């Protein structure tokens, strides 16, 4: 897991600063990365991840507004550097929580981190519907997570008018929604009002991990 995080951070830096391509399926890429680090000790893997994460973080810290808006290749297609950075935060936090749970240690999300994770989880709804063949063009979805709310379209790249009436309203605790979007829990931790078939499509396609 630590080796995978390090490889992903290195790949993120490569795609931001140059050219990168997945070169096969995500599963194949992940398996190849794990195999490449077979035989490394725990300390070497941890040091490799720390170095990769630091290098990515330092580069991101130096970006200007145009740099954050730049489009780069990633696992699920072309995305902004800002979205890529959020995906890396999402991946690191969830795997960190996985390791904490496996070792019986507490692992919490501070307010700022949870806000980033919730934003990503909510905003993946339209692309998830489209990527999995359940796009609902013209539909409007309102997601309320704690104090935050998002008005989303039913298909990728759709941006509803701010005054549009939602066809579906989902309301949930932010952390519960984040964990569900990352596949760490099952069931639907939200209340849903409106189009039940649309709610079922969201439940079937929701994923904040790549």
- Going from the C-alpha of 24 to that of each of 27, 100, 129, 131, the distances in angstroms are 8, 31, 23, 18
For CATH 3.30.1050.10, list the domain ranges present in the chain.
111-205
Beta bridge partner(s), residue 192: 170
Q: What number does CATH give the domain 111-205?
A: 3.30.1050.10
User: Of 3-7, 25-29, 116-120, 173-177, which one has max mean pLDDT?
Assistant: 173-177
Q: What predicted TM-score, i.e. pTM, was given to this entire model?
A: 0.83
Q: What confidence tens digit (pLDDT) does each residue in 126-181 have?
A: 999 999 999 999 999 999 999 999 999 999 999 999 999 999 999 999 999 999 99
End-to-end CA distance of the chain: 15
């Amino acid at each position: 897991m630590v080796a995978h995080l390090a490889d992903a951070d290195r790949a993120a830096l490569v795609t931001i600063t140059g050219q990168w391509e997945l070169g096969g399926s995500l599963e194949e890429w992940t398996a190849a990365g794990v195999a490449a680090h077979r035989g490394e000790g725990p300390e070497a893997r941890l040091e490799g991840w720390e170095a990769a994460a630091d290098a990515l973080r330092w580069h991101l810290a130096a970006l200007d507004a145009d740099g954050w808006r730049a489009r780069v290749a990633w696992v699920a297609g072309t995305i902004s550097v800002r979205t890529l950075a959020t995906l890396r935060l999402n991946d690191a936090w969830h795997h960190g929580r996985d390791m904490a749970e496996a070792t019986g240690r507490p692992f919490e999300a501070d307010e700022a981190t949870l806000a980033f994770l919730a934003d990503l989880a909510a905003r993946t709804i339209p692309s998830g519907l489209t990527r999995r063949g359940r796009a609902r063009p013209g539909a409007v979805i309102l997601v309320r997570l704690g104090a935050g709310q998002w008005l989303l379209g039913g298909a990728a790249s759709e941006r509803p008018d701010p005054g549009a009436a939602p066809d579906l309203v989902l309301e949930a605790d932010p952390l519960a929604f984040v964990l569900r979007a990352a596949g760490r829990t099952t069931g639907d931790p939200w209340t849903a009002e409106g189009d039940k078939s649309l709610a079922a499509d969201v439940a079937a396609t929701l994923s904040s991990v790549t």
